[in-house]
Structure 1
Amino acid sequence: MAAEFWSGGLYRSALAATVAVSALAIAPAAHAEKYAAIVVDAATGEVLHARNEDDPRYPASLTKVMTLYLLFEAIDSGEVTLTDRMTVSRAAASQPPSNLRLRAGDRMRVEDAIYALVTKSANDVAVVVAEYLAGSERAFAERMTARARELGLESTTFRNASGLPDAAQVSTARDLAMLADAVMNHFPHYYHYFQNQQFSWGGTTYRNHNELIRTVDGVDGIKTGYTRASGFNLMTSAVRDDRRVIAIMLGGATARSRNTHVTELVETAFLALGQTPGTIDPGNRPVVFAAVRTPSNPNGAAEPMLNGRRLSDILAEQTAKAAAEAGPEFARELPEYMPEYMEGDGTDQAAPTEIAAFGPVDYDVASEFLAAPSDYIAAPVAAQPEAPEPSGFLFDGSAVADYNAAQIARATAGARVADYTRRQTRRR
């Protein structure tokens, strides 16, 4: 079994590789809080490169690979068919982005759910699958953890089916590489779903978040993930000339830097595997990776980005501008803390009407905060009225009090986001 091989051979080769890499003293940033990586030759289990591979990390939406693993098992056992229709519960419909905005009572085919999990990374669909297979998400998470142990994932614990924030839901780069290998070995007839590049639902077409499928030769899967606590994660696999590598990176500061780093890992892996075994000692392969640099600032806060800028910077800039325009009375009304931000899939896209003035964005916010035009997206480009006149009215005729109230509402939008994050963090 693949799991037996990985739990034995991989661990032995990992030890040798880790010792060799440590001897190189590649970079002091290897002990960063979020960053971890591992690159493995899938055919032999040899670890070609590893950094922090056994340190606990938040898997984020890489969790959905295990959700799909159990769904594939259920299909193969005859418990479920691809054409079965699953009913959306209120709990599933309430899941934050990334989601399909399903409504309670909606019905979804199993195969559509697979596409939604792989392509859109939909959290509401993950709960639909969990409830369909186990009755509740909690029971399903227990089943996920038990199956992980059977596969040899000794450092992995699941508390939900989506990967949304939970302090107890952890894994390691090594365990996630083993999970990727298990999916490919046990369900090769379903692996093609991870190659799918787009999915349509409700009149909207979603693109696969894994950009490497389109940009790196040989990459054919499998999953991205993001929460603020985890950073930008990527589980990927590539094959060239019948040699397959599995690469895991956790804790990227941005989606772009993550993709760049994993691309470098994959390319370097194939370079290492191309060395002539008869003349090059495989034990020296880590030397090839010495040129692969740890991402800059791997321990940086992986907070949401909008058009290349941190949302906290945008909000702080907006608040300062509003305070300067409204005067000291407004400043006294501001919250005494900097807001936190929602967590979900970092590559989720906002509605086109919200981002027309900014162009493509790296992060979206929860739909509950977009019921009205988004404060911290629309406000920076909205026309601001002139400073209030002594008479108590602005030049456009609106009362100063109304203007101040509107600005306070904008600035305190972050408080709603902070409350949302705390609620999600407490979920079990």
Structure 2
Amino acid sequence: TNTPPPPPTPLRTTLRRIRIWTPLVLLLLIVFAIAQMVRPLPAPALKLSAAPTFTFEGGELKMPWPGEGQGAVEVEGVGSMGAYGPQKPAPIASVTKTMTAYVILRDHPLKGKQTGPEIEIDKKAADQGKAEHESTAAVEEGQTYSEKELLQLLMIPSANNVARLLARWDAGSEAAFVEKMNAAADELGMTQSTYTDPSGLLDSTVSTPKDQLKLAKAVMQYDVFREIVNLPEVNIDGIPDTIYNNNNILLKPGVGGIKTGSSTPAGGNLLWSANTVVDGKNRRILGIVMGAKDAKLLNDKLQLSIDYSYELIKRAQKDVTSAAVVRKGQVVGYVDDGLGGKTPVVATKELKAVGWPGLQVKLELADGGKAVPHTGRTGDVVGQVSIGTGAGKVSSPVALQSDLAEPGFDKKLTRVG
């Protein structure tokens, strides 16, 4: 006979449900655990734990800014030492020729002892060389000069007729060359500059101190340009007399040239470079003085800009220094495994920053372009800590202070997201 099932009770119903659902729950838990174990691990990342900034001792920097005009000074690769004046577009006179030289060297580079192609003097350049009311070079029609010699005539005696000749040689016409000058300014981020001629004779060619420092950084990368603008004098075959640079501080210690410029609308102007030695290495300082007008004669206005510049150079050379920001063996950060694990990293060498009183610099911790590993041994290099940018950037490798291991079973199992 069939025995009827016992009548249902709450207890029997609960037990039956447990027997049915328990294997399913266990199966789901096993599937979940397996999925957690095989899921890709989060990418480890370097995180900075040291103070993100460092301030140089000595209080606030006090530059001897002129009481007129406008200007700016910066240390290449480090940053701005400050600026003064309205920082608005103004005529720059023959400082314009810096852009002319930049476009020529960018499109017709000279390396080592190269002097470049021979360029013939046309009738227009020869006729303009006889002009009495602008700076020129006494070149004759039919003569030939190398590209380098013409750049010397452009930058040292500031020959307007040579600026226009180079423009025609490069672009076919002065107008086409001016278009290239403005395109170059745009590429360099010189948003407040407008070039209307290759010589700077026109007062419609305007710029600002900060824009000119952007150009200075670019053009000073050319060895031949630095060689030319640092010359206090030069002799060129075909030119009867020695040519003297009217930047009369070029023989002062660590002082380099870029370009003078003067006109009635522009006043006296000097775009300059200088060097100072920090920890045995040359550091380039760039600066400009624009709009020196506190004198009656134009030559005296130019000399004012030179004198103002030299005071700024001397202070910058004196105050630019270095300081140890990170010590060798110092913990600067950690590897974050993304699941709560943190393995400290240390600098493998002392890291010094270049700066001046009151300057605040930023520390950056990065992987150096290589993925941070999931595992590693004590001492393995996993990235770098750095300060500064460009030519002034200094870095130190960072290494694991202890072994780096993958996250354990418990962290893999309990992770979310």
The alignment's TM-score, normalised by the length of structure 2, stands at 0.55
**Change over 3 Å in CA distance of 1:282–1:274 after alignment to 2:** closer
| Cα offset, 1:243, TM superposition | 2.0
Which residue identity lines up with residue 173 of structure 1 in the other structure?
Answer: P
Give the C-alpha shift of residue 193 in structure 1.
1.5
Q: Which runs of 4+ in 1 moved over 4 A?
A: 275-283
Structure 1 unmatched ranges of 5 or more: 1-19, 287-428
Deviation at 1:221, TM superposition (A): 1.7
What is aligned with 1:398? none
- Is the CA contact (8 Å cut-off) linking 2:292 and 2:302 kept in structure 1? yes
For the residues of structure 2 that align with 1:52 and 1:175, how far apart are their CA atoms? 14
Deviates more, 1:115-124 or 1:273-282: 273-282
Q: Quick check: 1:83–1:109 contact (8 Å CA) kept in 2?
A: yes
Query: Of the candidates 56, 66, 71, which is equivalent to residue 37 of structure 1?
Result: 71
User: 1:200 matched to which residue of 2?
Assistant: 235
In the other structure, the counterpart of 1:118 is: 155
SS at structure 2 position matched to 1:162: coil
Does the CA contact (< 8 Å) of 1:53 and 1:173 recur in 2?
A: no
CA distance in 2, matches of 1:280, 1:207: 35
Q: Is the 8 A contact 2:156 2:243 kept in 1?
A: yes
Q: Secondary structure of 2:89's partner?
A: coil
The match for 1:260 is: 307
Q: Name 2:259's counterpart in structure 1.
A: 223
**1:203-282 mapped onto 2 (5 Å cutoff):** 203-214=240-251, 216-241=252-277, 242-253=282-293, 254-274=301-321
Deviations 1:200-239 (A, max 9, x none): 342111111211211x210122111111110111011111
What is the distance in 2 between the residues matched to 1:175 and 1:277? 32
Distance 1:252 1:91 in 2: 33
Larger relative helix fraction: 1
Q: 1:281 to 1:184 in 2, by over 3 A?
A: closer
Contact 1:57–1:172 (CA<8 Å) still a contact in 2? yes
Residue 84 of structure 1 deviates from its aligned partner by: 2.0
Per the alignment, in what secondary structure is the counterpart of residue 213 of structure 2?
A: helix
Higher relative contact order (CA closer than 8 Å, sequence separation 6+): 2
Residue 137 of structure 1 pairs with residue 174 of structure 2: yes
Unpaired runs of at least 5, structure 2: 1-59, 294-300, 326-352, 361-417
Write the mapping of 1:22-421 to structure 2, written as runs, cut at 5 A. Answer: 35-44=69-78, 46-52=79-85, 54-76=87-109, 82-95=115-128, 96=131, 97-167=134-204, 169-185=205-221, 187-201=222-236, 202-214=239-251, 216-241=252-277, 242-253=282-293, 254-274=301-321, 284=358
**In structure 1, C-alpha distance between the alignment counterparts of 2:163 and 2:310, rounded to whole Å:** 28
Contact 2:89/2:206 (CA < 8 Å) preserved in 1?
yes
Q: What is the CA-CA distance between 1:140 and the residue it aligns to?
A: 0.4
1:418 is matched with none
Q: What's the offset of the Cα at 1:62?
A: 0.8
After superposition, the Cα gap between the structure-2 partners of 1:283 and 1:203, relative to the gap in structure 1 and judged at 3 Å, is: closer
- Which letter does structure 2 place at the counterpart of 1:284? G
Whether contact under 8 Å (2:192, 2:208) holds in the other structure is: yes
Q: Is the 8 A contact 2:157 2:244 kept in 1?
A: yes
Query: 1:281 Cα deviation (Å)?
Result: 9.5
**1:64–1:281 Cα change, 3 Å:** closer
Q: Classify the secondary structure of the residue corresponding to 2:207.
A: coil
Q: Which residue of 1 aligns with 2:413?
A: none
Aligned CA RMSD, in angstroms, stands at: 3.0
CA distance in 2, matches of 1:256, 1:127: 26
CA separation of 1:234/1:105 partners in 2, compared to 1, >3 Å: closer, same or farther? Answer: same
1:243 aligned partner, one-letter code:
R
Q: Secondary structure at the match of 1:284?
A: coil
- Distance 1:132-1:50 versus aligned 2 partners, 3 A rule: same
Moved more, 115-124 or 96-105: 96-105
Report which of the two has the higher share of strand.
2
1:116-135 deviation digits (Å, cap 9, x = unpaired): 11211111111110000001
2:98 is paired with a residue whose SS is helix
SS at match of 1:111: helix
Amino acid at match of 1:58: P
Deviation at 1:138, TM superposition (A): 1.0
**Counterpart code for 2:242:** T
Calculate the TM-score normalised by the size of structure 1: 0.54
Provide the identity percentage: 28
> 2:224 and 2:183 mapped to 1: Cα distance?
24
CA gap of 1:43–1:87, structure 2 versus 1, over 3 A, is: same
Equivalent-residue separation in structure 2 for 1:40 and 1:104 (angstroms): 43
